[in-house]
Chains A and B, each alone.
Chain A
Amino acid sequence: MRAWAHSRQRGDRRIGADVTAAHSNPPIEEAQELIAKLRRAFAATLPSLLDTLGEACASARADDPASLEQPKQLAHRLAGSGGTFGMDGLTRAARHLEGLLAQPRSGATWQCSMLDAFALILEAQHSPSELVEISRPKISRPATSAPRNTDPPTSSRYPQPHGRWAAVPIVVVIDDVATRQSILNTLQQFGFLVVGCDSPTRFPITPLAFVCTLNHAEAIRNLYPKADIITVLDYANLEARLAAVRVGCRATVSMEADAPEIAAAMERLFPLELEVPRVLVVDDDHFVSRATAAVLERSGLVVTVLNDPQALLEVTADVRPHLVLMDMRLPHCNGLELAAVLRHDDRMVGVPIVFLTAVDEPAQARLALEIGADDFLVKPVEPATLVAVVSSRLNRSRALRSYMDRDSLTRLFSHARTIERIELEVDVAHRRGEPLALAILDLDHFKRVNDEYGHATGDRVLRSLSTVLRRRARQGDIIGRCGGEEFAVILPATRGAEAQQLLNERRQTFSSLRYGTVKGPFTVSFSAGIAELLENETPASLWDRADRALYAAKESGRNRVICSDAGSCPQLGDE
């Protein structure tokens, strides 16, 4: 007998493992089935419940008791129901939040704790045993008659602030309120999630990093032995710098550091991967493939499921996956043959292929590795193992790709890769009938910066523009450095007018940055030209029109974003 209650205690849940009931007692069996159904129904309502709770918490204020009522009630409800449906993590998270809401405090620490609780809730939502539960309703729906599922993941393609770090806060612990505020503002401008604290506090999950003054460094180190700490200190004071080293700080920033310098330090520590990795799951079993996809999606990857291997080439051309996860046994052909076919495609040569197999077959495994498979997983795979293997493969191939494809100064795409990406994206946009915008940017009077302040300062300006573009980018945007001071931004599924607005926001952020030098601070601006892809237009023509718009922006006085005439956006200069 494998009663549900027992399987829950053993944590014995795998992808595809179903609730099996006792044979001896029909009502009990029936009860278990019904409870499993209710659990699925509850899981289906959970995302919207958590959204509501998130919004309620965001608008809660310590000095306004009425604003605390709704989040309190919601948290209490979740605490009561989570564990009943086998989601113990959810109950823990909700209880924690309840506790915080019961003792409202004002100021930064309170906000900090709220964020804290959020993270916990999120974590609860993401714990592996619950993932399968939450994703089940999708699976239990009657199978669609369509042989394959290649819908582009529209909802996940361009959500707003992106990246796996966007949800992990950087904590700034500095006593002086003015300094703290200014650093918070800077980091926020660059797209980091930040929170200020007046003293080191323990968080339920480790923050991305701490920015602090030396007096707090040791306390933080004691709380978080492995945390990344960036200390703000007086550079002239050697004693202080030594102390920072002793506490094990990852980086130090001078008290007098300007915004670009702090952002550059963060950028060095946390390089941002703009493209969310795409994984293609090839498996003819609808149930297993959806469950696998759900687990990977929860870990922040974009997943496409292919149930019919016949469509493999078509789908890989469309999705351009960073990793292929393939079942060994497929109808019509086997996984090994398919892998070989993929390896013949030039663009797919470097893409890791991970095989899933039902039984341990050493002979097959050896063959697969000879063909160029990268790893082998035996089903059923624990969600945590699946995520670990896939991420480590992705990380490694990403690091390799990065050296080949990126500009060494800014870590943006190199010129050649940018052109290649424009060709690809134009192709995709035509096929999907989606809009596409291309922006070409050029720094204003950059030669003067180099002449006046030297090339090292010039490089700082280039890097900070790169940081602004990357941090402010949406998921899916592609950014390249095309020459000395020329940059390109490819904005898929975006109209010209929207692109113009986005670029104008980035222009304002960038031009407000002050670079400190011995000769005094200065600022730099950029001009940009935008073109929206026309019907049947070639990549070359699109580039040409964006380039001409850039020229027009330069001609009409610089520090502005102009859209090509053929596009649909209004002609606006600097306001």
Chain B
Amino acid sequence: MLPLRILLVEDELALRLVAKVALEKVGGYTVNTCASGKEALQVVREFKPDLFVLDVMMPHLDGPATLMQLREMPEFLETPAIFLTAKVQSREILELLAHGAIGVLQKPFDPMQLSQNVSELVRQHAKKRQR
């Protein structure tokens, strides 16, 4: 599988960095990080990501709202998205999936496992699309 380009949106600095390190060094992805949904909307056209990883709870523009605005750009209508969230209830997880994400990853996460979990979701998504 070709190295994917990931746009990572996470407002908390420590987590943004740890996720970037995990995805780049362990998973071999190319990662661009944004501290807010607004920033993501500004850089997305230039970076041309293959995958969005979005934190859910962010001030001003939260994860789902950011995704909705990203989807308004035709070139990113089909780009898969994964939410990162500390929410635990299955109802909340289902709501997030309903926003058109290919998966939801739990926080806290094990940095050494994150890449594997992301690739797994991407693989499943690719299989589904083939059918």
Contacts and interface: CB of A to CB of B under 8 A. Distances in A.
Interface of A: 3-5, 8, 27-28, 30-32, 34-35, 38-39, 41-42, 45, 73, 76-77, 79-85, 88, 91, 95
Given A35-B18, A38-B14, A84 B111 contact: yes
A79 B111 contact: no
B77 interface: no
Contacts of A27: 25-26, 28
B86 interface: yes
Nearest to A34: B21
A47 to B, nearest CB: 14
A34 B22 CA distance: 9
B112 interface: yes
Nearest to B55: A80
Contacts, number: 76
A91 B28 CA distance: 28
Q: Is the interface of A mostly helix, strand, loop or mixed?
A: helix
Interface stretch (B42-50, B66-74, B102-110): B102-110
Nearest to A84: B108
Interface residues of B, number: 23
A81 B108 contact: yes
B107 A31 contact: no
A39 B108 CA distance: 13
B97 interface: no
Given A28-B26, A76-B57, A84-B111, 16 more contacts: A4-B111, A5-B111, A28-B112, A31-B22, A31-B111, A31-B112, A34-B25, A38-B17, A79-B86, A79-B107, A79-B108, A80-B12, A80-B84, A80-B86, A83-B107, A95-B88
12 contacts: A8-B110, A28-B26, A31-B24, A31-B26, A32-B112, A38-B17, A45-B14, A77-B57, A77-B86, A80-B84, A83-B107, A84-B110
A207 to B, nearest CB: 28
B113 interface: yes
B14 A3 contact: no
A297 to B, nearest CB: 24
A4 B21 CA distance: 14
A81 B106 CA distance: 11
Interface string B51-67: 00000010000000000
Q: Among B14, B18, B108, B110, which residue has the most Cβ atoms of chain A within 10 A?
A: B108
B113 A81 contact: no
